[in-house]
Homo-oligomer: A and B are copies of this chain.
Amino acid sequence: MKSICAIEGVTAAGIKEGKYGLALIRASGETAGVFTRNLMKAPPIRLMEERIRKGWMDAVIVNSGCANAYTGSRGYQDAITMAGFAADVLELPEESVGVASTGVIGRFLDLDRIRDQCTRIAPFLERSERAEEMAARAIMTTDLSEKHSLVEGDGFLVGGITKGSGMIAPNMATMLAFIYTDADLPLKEIRESLKLATERTFNRVVVDGDTSTNDCALLTSTGRAGRVDRSEFQEALERCCRQLAVQIASDGEGASKLLEVRVKGAPSEDQAARVARTIAESPLVKTAIYGEDPNWGRVIAAAGRAGVEFDPDSVSLCLGNGRIMLELVRRGEIVVDLPAAKAVMAGKTVIFELDLDNGDGSATGWGCDLTEKYVEINGRYTT
In contact, A334 and B70 (Cβ under 8 angstroms): yes
B297 touches A69 (CB 8 A): yes
With a CB–CB cut-off of 8 A, which chain B residues contact A362?
Answer: none
CB-defined contacts of A293 to chain B, threshold 8 Å? 379-383
| Stretch in A111-119, A148-156, A205-213, A258-266 with 4+ CB within 8 Å of B | A205-213
In the assembled complex, A37 has its CB within 8 A of some CB on chain B: yes
Contact present for A334 and B290 (CB under 8 Å) = no
Given known pairs A213-B301, A282-B209, the reply for A334 and B380 (CB within 8 Å) is no
B39 touches A291 (CB 8 A): no
Contact A210 B302 (CB under 8 A): yes
In contact, B39 and A310 (Cβ under 8 angstroms): yes
**Total count of chain A residues near the partner, CB < 8 A:** 58
Instruction: Tell me what chain A mostly uses at the interface: helix, strand, loop, or mixed.
Output: loop
Tally of this chain's copies: 2
| Complex-state Cα separation, A117 to B290, whole angstroms | 35
Chain B residues within an 8 Å CB radius of A374: 283, 287, 375
Interface flags for A96-129 (1: CB within 8 Å of B; 0: not) read 0000000011100000000000000000000000
Are A209 and B375 interface neighbours, CB within 8 A?
no
The answer, among B105, B313, B332, B375, for a CB contact under 8 Å with A298, is B105
Docked pose: A378 CA to B37 CA in angstroms: 31
Q: Does A38 contact B (CB under 8 A)?
A: yes
Given contacts A38-B305, A208-B284, A211-B304, 19 further A-B contacts (CB under 8 A): A38-B301, A39-B304, A39-B312, A40-B304, A70-B312, A105-B295, A171-B305, A209-B209, A210-B282, A213-B301, A287-B379, A288-B378, A288-B379, A290-B375, A291-B378, A291-B379, A293-B381, A293-B383, A372-B375
Residues in chain A within 8 A of chain B (CB atoms): 37-40, 69-70, 72, 104-106, 166-167, 169, 171, 208-213, 281-284, 287-288, 290-291, 293, 295-298, 300-305, 309-310, 312-313, 332, 334, 370-372, 374-383
